[in-house]
Amino acid sequence: MKNEPAEAFQARVAKHGALADPARLRIVDLLTLGDFSPTELQAELGMPSNLLSHHLRTLEGAGMVTRHRSEADKRRSYILLATGALEGLAPGVEHGASRVLFVCTRNSARSQLAAALWQQVSDIPAVSAGTHPADHIAQGAVDVARRHGLTLADRLPRRLDQVAGDGDFVVTVCDNAHEELSGLGGVHWSVPDPLRINTEEAFENAFTDISHRISDLAPRLTAA
């Protein structure tokens, strides 16, 4: 039998040590669904800021979480689960949903891509909407979808209040929409806006980010 390399073993030990604390395990459970600002984590956990900071430093030191600056309010940051942080230890099915609703500001790129990707991996219906929808889908989103075998051409941007329904599992994929809709519930994915750079690489990065998150979330939702 080939032994696990010492460096990989120590990294695994650090992760198990970090998860041994109930509060840190709860933080990671929440982050498997979406991204949270420290203030939002405080509210979810009922925990003082100094204790939360301690737990987040421990998780960062174990390579389990990272931070991402909000594109909306630059004073705010989001805590994200690091890529590969759980190595197959993610929680099982926990949530029932009749439909998944992906929301961003313009409903012209990230939310459209998320809904299309979702329909490839889950039988639960998915739709998308925007808080301030654009007139048309961004060409970069159409192009990246086409490169990956998806079609967005007939998915016109729609306003949130025209789409939202009871029983929706809401996923905001835009910092602006999440912060505008604080209190709406659901989960948040802090996906950088590809239109800010508007390059093929930026859209590919957004597509990859959303695809990975959907692959993690889909097994945890059951049809309600």
Q: What is the distance, to the nearest Å, from the Cα of residue 94 to the centroid of all Cα atoms in its chain?
A: 16
Predicted pLDDT of residue 82: 92
Q: How far apart are CA 49 and CA 58, in angstroms?
A: 14
The architecture in CATH of the region 6-81 reads Orthogonal Bundle (1.10)
Least confident of 5-9, 11-15, 26-30, 142-146: 5-9
Predicted pLDDT of residue 95: 75
Q: What is the DSSP string of 159-220?
A: BHHHH--TTEEEEE--HHHHHHTTTS-SEE-----GGGT-SHHHHHHHHHHHHHHHHHHGGG
Please choose, from the candidates 66, 75, 58, the residue with its C-alpha nearest in 3D space to the C-alpha of residue 18: 58
Contact call for residues 75 and 201 (beta carbons, < 8 A): no
Q: What average pLDDT does range 129-157 have in this prediction?
A: 93
Predicted pLDDT of residue 186: 84
Say yes or no to pLDDT of 3 above 60: no
Residue 132 amino acid letter: H
Q: What average pLDDT does range 25-43 have in this prediction?
A: 94
The architecture in CATH of the region 95-223 reads 3-Layer(aba) Sandwich (3.40)
Predicted pLDDT of residue 183: 67
Q: Map out the domains of the chain as residue ranges.
A: 6-81, 95-223
> Higher model confidence: residue 223 or residue 78?
78
Contact call for residues 110 and 89 (beta carbons, < 8 A): no
Under the banding of pLDDT at 50, 70 and 90, the label for residue 152 is confident
Predicted pLDDT of residue 118: 97
CA-to-CA separations, 199 to 108, 125, 194, 203, 205, in angstroms, rounded = 15, 30, 7, 7, 10
Predicted pLDDT of residue 224: 78
> Higher model confidence: residue 155 or residue 203?
203
The enclosing H or E element of 57 equals helix 49-61
pTM above 0.85, yes or no: no
Q: How far apart are CA 208 and CA 214, in angstroms?
A: 10
Under the banding of pLDDT at 50, 70 and 90, the label for residue 131 is very high
Q: What average pLDDT does range 185-191 have in this prediction?
A: 90
Q: How far apart are CA 95 and CA 149, in angstroms?
A: 29
Predicted pLDDT of residue 93: 62
Q: Render pLDDT for 47-83 as a digit per residue (tens, 0 to 9).
A: 999 999 999 999 999 889 999 999 999 999 999 999 8
Predicted pLDDT of residue 1: 31
The enclosing H or E element of 45 equals helix 38-45
Least confident of 15-19, 111-115, 127-131: 15-19
Contact call for residues 172 and 188 (beta carbons, < 8 A): yes
Q: What average pLDDT does range 175-203 have in this prediction?
A: 93
SS3 annotation, 92-152: CCCEEECEEEEEECCCCCHHHHHHHHHHHHCCCCEEEEECCCCCCCCHHHHHHHHHCCCCC
Q: What average pLDDT does range 106-112 have in this prediction?
A: 97
Predicted pLDDT of residue 20: 92
The enclosing H or E element of 65 equals strand 65-69
